[in-house]
Structure 1
Amino acid sequence: MEARFDLFANEIALKFAKRFAGAGLVIQQSPLPRSTQELVSLRASQINGCGHCIDMHTKEAVAAGESAVRLHLVAAWRESTVFTEAERAALALAEEGTRLGDAHHGVSDETWDRVRKHYDDDQTAALVALVALINAANRLAVIVHQKGGAYEPGMFAHALEGVEGVHGER
């Protein structure tokens, strides 16, 4: 099945994508570890069934040095021994923040306390923003049927060159 709509070929969608990328850049440049960013993005994308984002974040994680074992175990992180306590807290936040409709109170106090135990204010802000941003990205891609499989590491950043803040440009 082909994508329903090319978000990079429409002027309004492209303007939005550039601003969206700018928001993502704030998170990428934050003190939240890159590996945590990719694991959280991957887990939310798995929950939301977004093949494009699963493809992107798996390949970006590999390019950043993430191991195949850890990537294969993200979906079963609770039943795995390869994640740190901090990563477990971030993955729990990703799940609870993604499954808002499934949880009667959203993110639990227990999960929030675990996040705050492992992440400072800047990292927490980046983590919360990341969960919101990846869920929005998942919805964009799923709505237009953007499929996974063709993504190459760095491809998204390249498509959005010239965005304020990307590659030091305004």
Structure 2
Amino acid sequence: MQARMGNPAQVVPGAMDALLALGTSTENTGVPAVTLYLAHLRTSQINSCSVCVRVHAAELKKAGESDERIFAVSTWRERPFFNDAERAALALAEAVTRVNDRPDAVPDATWDEAARHYDEMQLGGLLLSIATVNMWNRVNLATRQVADIDWK
């Protein structure tokens, strides 16, 4: 497969810098990096973005995560490898990504469980981080970006 065009974030002046700055700001909210990577991977799996699945699995591997945990992200509810805070972040990632799957985009139970583990700044970081990955997924899918190239 060949991409339809270059990545829009690299084509539109200033876009990549803005998106990277947003990503950096979410990393500085106190949410553990591995938790963000888990949420990113789950979001990208839901959206079937092969580029981002590759990138986020590699981030987890680089952070020292086992293949077993990485492979289990898509079935996190049935697997014992995730703590309660990670489970709350994964549930939030699923709800925010699948906003049209239910009348209440993010059910109170999902929100309340996330709020039990994360303060307001951390919740804000998680939400912005998940939203940003959803944006990357959609851009990559629309332009048919190729997963087998090296992304820096």
Q: What is the TM-score when the length of structure 2 is the normalising length?
A: 0.94
Question: Equivalents in 2 of 1:122, 1:56: separation in Å?
Answer: 25
Report the counterpart of residue 118 of structure 1 in structure 2. Answer: 117
Contact 1:56 1:151 in 2 (8 A): no
- The yes-or-no answer on 1:141 pairing with 2:117 is no
Segments of structure 1 that go 5 or more residues without pairing to the other structure are 156-170
- Matching of residue 127 in structure 1 with residue 121 in structure 2: no
- Equivalenced residue count is 151
2: distance between equivalents of 1:150 and 1:59?
Answer: 13
Q: Which residue of 1 aligns with 2:5?
A: 5
Structure 1's 9 and 108: CA in aligned 2 closer, same or farther, altered over 3 A? closer
Structure 1 ranges of 4+ moved more than 6 A? none
Tell me, yes or no, if the aligned pair for 2:10 and 2:16 is still in contact at 8 Å: no
RMSD: 1.3
Deviations 1:93-152 (A, max 9, x none): 000110011122101100001001111122111011111111111101111101213336
Report the counterpart of residue 163 of structure 1 in structure 2. Answer: none
SS of 1:103's partner is: coil
Q: Quote the Cα distance in structure 2 between the aligned partners of 1:43 and 1:29.
A: 21
- Equivalent positions of 1:20-169 (< 5 A) are 20-151=19-150, 155=152
Mapping 1:12-23, distance limit 5 Å: 12=12, 14-23=13-22
- Matches of 2:81 and 2:10, distance apart in 1: 41
Percent identity between the aligned chains? 36
Amino acid corresponding to residue 65 of structure 1 in structure 2: G
Q: Which amino acid aligns with 1:27?
A: T
Contact 2:72–2:79 (Cα < 8 Å) also in 1: yes
Alpha-carbon contact 1:55-1:151 (below 8 Å) kept: no
Name 1:158's counterpart in structure 2: none
SS at match of 1:71: helix
Q: What's the CA shift string for 1:43-79, capped at 9, x where partnerless?
A: 0000001000001111111111111111100000001
CA distance in 1, matches of 2:20, 2:10: 16
Provide the rounded CA distance (Å) in 1 between the counterparts of 2:89 and 2:110: 9
- Compute the TM-score of the two structures, normalised by the length of structure 1: 0.84
Distance in 2, matches of 1:44 and 1:53, equals 9
- Aligned letter for 1:150? I
2:121 alignment partner AA = D
